Each structure stands twice: as C-alpha cells, then as structure tokens.
Copies of this chain bind each other. A is one copy, B any other.
C-alpha cells in the first residue's frame, strides 16, 4: 500500500526514490525531508565522507500538499572522489559486496560501494521523513538508541566520550568496529500484522535486515528468551482503567505476529565497517592470484550511529504500510470524502 522504490549508486550522478501510495492532502515542505537527511551523519568525527545531501522533490506535491500521485525525490552526489577506486578495481575488498557483485553481475560500477553502499540509503532516509509525517497523524512515534559500540555498553551519559574514544583508536589501529542498536515504535494501534506471512515483526525484520551492515534482528527480549522459562518470559495480561494489555513487554509488542498494545521494540547488530587502512587478504582478478588491499576511500570508523536514522526510516515505512493495510490510515484520514470536490476552493 505504501511502497518505496529506490535507485542510484554511491558514485553516480544522483540517487533517489519514488514513493507510491502516500494519500493526498499531506502537508509536505522540504523541511520534512531536510530534517531527516541532516541526521545522516550525527558524529562527523567518525566519518570521512560528509555529503550535503542536496535534494529536490520532483513530483507528487503541489502547493505544499501531496496530491496522491508518486512522490519522486532526487539527491545529488556532490562529493564524489572516485579516482582512489581505480587502482583497486580488480581487488574485491573483504567484507564488502565487491566479490558478490562481480559474481552476480559481471559488469559493475567499481567506484566505491556502488549500489551496495550505505550511502544509497539516503533516499530511504528521505522517504522516512514522509513516513514519519504519516505516522504522526495516528500518533505513532519511532525512536532509537545505541546499545553497544565497539563491544562496550552505551548509555546516554557515556555516548559522546565513547564515540571520541572510538574515533581515536580506529585511527591509531587502522581498524573499525561495530555495535548494537535498539529501535522503539510507540503508539501503535493493536491489530497490525497478519497470522502467517505478514507478521508485523517479520515485515519489519525484512526491512531492517535489508540495511547494509545489519546482521541480525532480535525482537523484544529475545536473547533472554532462549534461557528463560515460560512463566518468566510470558507477559502477564492485565486490565487497568478498562484497557486490557500485557503488563510487561518481553514479547516486544507483538503476539502471533500481531501488535497488541505495547511498543514494538527490537535490536539489531551492526558489523564493523569493512573498509580499513590495514592490509587485508584478497585476490587480484586480472591475474587470478592472491594479493592484499588497503582501502583508502572515505568511510566510517564505526557506522552504528548512522544506521540509527536508516533503521528508524525503515521502521516508519513498514509501519505506514501496515497502518494502511489495516485501514487505520487511509485517504479519508487526510481529506474526508464529502469535502473532496470543493477541497481546493476552501478558504
């Protein structure tokens, strides 16, 4: 119902997305998207490539409101240094998709990560801005936090110091690290999702596992679930002020794949950024012999913080899709049927 198509390579002319299914009548200025894209690089100290993310809304919006047709957003790739890649084009970088792309496509764009680059998810961040606006119509909020960085637990108070420490040690060790993130979707109406193949958390997991660098999807207290007994793990059900709901949230907000009141909460593991200055073992494909590689491109010492905004965007997109499938959010939510013929002439 709410579908995002993306296109673009990290070192091509531009990247973008087409959003199908957004109802008409949504207030939409560039700020909705600007705000999300500006969160793309939360800690510049961890990143060597900072883009200004110049974008344009090309269709689907007229006089500040969506018109129900596809919304096309384009983001320019302004800051492209692709020369560095020329000399390593025949050496697939370990941990990157280079080898897999050659195996699948044969002909590849060898400049940077191309289509596999995390950078190509900027259009998803932009689409996340639209999804977030739609979520807020039904008071659904998406938030996230870092749980672990480079093997060390993160809290609000040590976040900044840990990031500085990581930037330093990564530079010194010519290496990179990963982390764990947590996302919370709050305010979800009960009843989203379906019994078999459209379980809410499975659709969410599909989206999250599609993000470059993410290696796992863990719902609620799933890691504890493997060691707990049923009486410890099951969330008791209670009634309070006439509202029936689980009294705790080890399940992570879904039962049988269907939302039931509590926030949907999940964690995901982010692998270490594969690009490092240290020499790594690879193969030279022109000679078909073993070789080494040191990747000098621009990349992150740890991209866990940058994954947060992408994970939130994906969560918002999946949520809007389910809100629309369930009929909780539809075109009538924005422009009621009986007002439509004269909507444009209202004062």
Contacts and interface: CB of A to CB of B under 8 A. Distances in A.
Interface in A62-96: 62-63, 65-72, 74, 89-90, 92, 94-96
Interface in A192-241: 193, 195-197, 199, 201-203, 205-207, 209-210, 212, 215-220, 222-223, 225-239
Interface string A314-347: 0000000000111100111001010111111100
A280 interface: yes
A287 to B, nearest CB: 9
A286 B16 CA distance: 38
A210 to B, nearest CB: 4
A9 interface: yes
A55 interface: no
A151 B272 contact: no
A228 B178 contact: yes
Contacts of A183: none
Contact of A62 (B108, B189, B342): B108
Interface residues of A, number: 153
B209 A217 contact: yes
A37 interface: no
Q: So how many copies of this chain end up in the complex? A: 4
A288 B335 contact: no
A94 B273 CA distance: 41
Interface string A47-68: 0000000001011101101111
Interface string A173-200: 1011111100000000111010111010
A216 to B, nearest CB: 4
A324 B325 CA distance: 8
The DSSP consensus for interface residues of chain A is mixed
B100 A259 contact: yes
A39 to B, nearest CB: 21
Interface stretch (A18-26, A133-141, A305-313): A18-26
Contact of A340 (B105, B231, B289): B105
A270 interface: yes
B109 A67 contact: yes
Contacts of A281: 236-238, 247
A209 B281 CA distance: 35
A70 B6 contact: yes
Contacts of A203: 206
Given A14-B58, A209-B217, A104 B285 contact: no
B13 A58 contact: yes
Given A227-B151, A269-B223, A190 B12 contact: no
Closest 3 CB pairs of A and B: A97-B256, A327-B330, A215-B222
Given A103-B258, A104-B193, A151-B227, 15 more contacts: A5-B70, A7-B58, A8-B58, A13-B58, A94-B237, A100-B255, A102-B340, A104-B190, A104-B258, A177-B228, A178-B233, A191-B337, A202-B207, A222-B269, A247-B281
